[in-house]
Amino acid sequence: MKKIGILTGGGDCPGLNAVIRAVVKRAIDTYNLQVLGIREGWAGLIKGSVEPLTYFSISGILPRGGTILGTSRTNPFKSEEALQRTLNSIEKYGIDGLVVVGGEDTLGVAHRLHGQGIPVVGVPKTIDNDLPCTDYTFGFDTAVSIVAEAIDRLHTTAESHHRVMVIEVMGRHTGWIATVAGIAGGADCILIPEIPFKIKHVAEMIKKRRARGKTFSIIVVAEGVEFGESNGLVVQDEKTDEFGHALLGGVGIIIGKKIEELTGMETRVTNLGYIQRGGTPTAFDRVLATRFGVKAVDMLANGEHGKMACLRGNTIESVDLKEVISSSKVINPELYKIAELFFG
């Protein structure tokens, strides 16, 4: 093995640059490998957009959010032509192995390419923390910190104006961000996809708080909760990406209106949106991403292909990609029970 490539796919995430930095340093210093950066995720291989990565390329990128390589939600298996161009680029640029940094969709493509004989390893990236087989994904800690700070700020205005504050957060079909940030921020109720709820019960809880003299409430809502007339997902747009996913968002507004209707209390809704994915990564995410990057290069060099670096306890290990893409990691019920202790 003489040359490896690295790409970042899917949504941007704090810590991506820390992975890139670690991959380049490990590859050059330990294994004397050349590193090619593939721009815009899988789109870079389809278009043949690559560039050499050197020490200069990674200078000063550790604290930066986003990814210096760019990213996209591109699926090279969407057509035979796109797949063939991807394979041609791998051969053309002499890429002996790929480090693929992404979530379930990006890693799903990596798994399929591995099945076609391409040496591939994965690094788990998502603020949602919904990838199985790893205790944490990098980006999650930063997102939780951002949401917890937002809850703290909204808490003071809710208390001052005697309002109900509904805070919608990301997480897709799981409630990791909502639950952990809700606990950290002292939320009075947390609504997540994994736990069915009735809005009348939420309203009753708010009215009981008011009867006890608590004239405000903080409600954290995960974007993937099912609610509304159809009791289904609320989406911003019916259009889907190349992996078939709709853009979630807007359920907080619907829930907020219903709460105001049922309680008579002034209710405001804040959708934190892309703020959760931006900015500098926390120290935890920088270290975790760095460890993942180092492990990914070791895996490629040692022939552990078709696997993903993962965190188990405090150890970085590897797991087959086919196990990772088989399901999502839902919230730990015991963790949610802890959150429930503080509801109402």
Provide the annotated active-site residues.
128
Q: Which two tokens stand for residue 139?
A: 């980006």
Alpha carbons 100 and 124: distance in angstroms, whole number: 9
Exposed / middle / buried, residue 231 (Cβ in 10 Å: 0-12, 13-18, 19+): exposed
What's the one-letter identity of residue 245?
H
Please name which of 167, 162, 151 lies closest in space to residue 206, comparing C-alpha atoms: 162
Phi, psi of 62 (to 5 degrees): -55, -45
Please give the C-alpha separations between residue 144 and each of 177, 250, 315, in angstroms, as whole numbers.
6, 20, 22
Range 288-310 burial, b when 16+ CB lie within 10 A, else e: bbbbbbbbbbbbbbeebbbbbbb
| E strand or H helix at 9 | none
Alpha carbons 85 and 3: distance in angstroms, whole number: 19
Alpha carbons 55 and 215: distance in angstroms, whole number: 56
Instruction: Write the CB contacts of 333 (distance below 8 Å, at least 6 apart in sequence).
Output: none
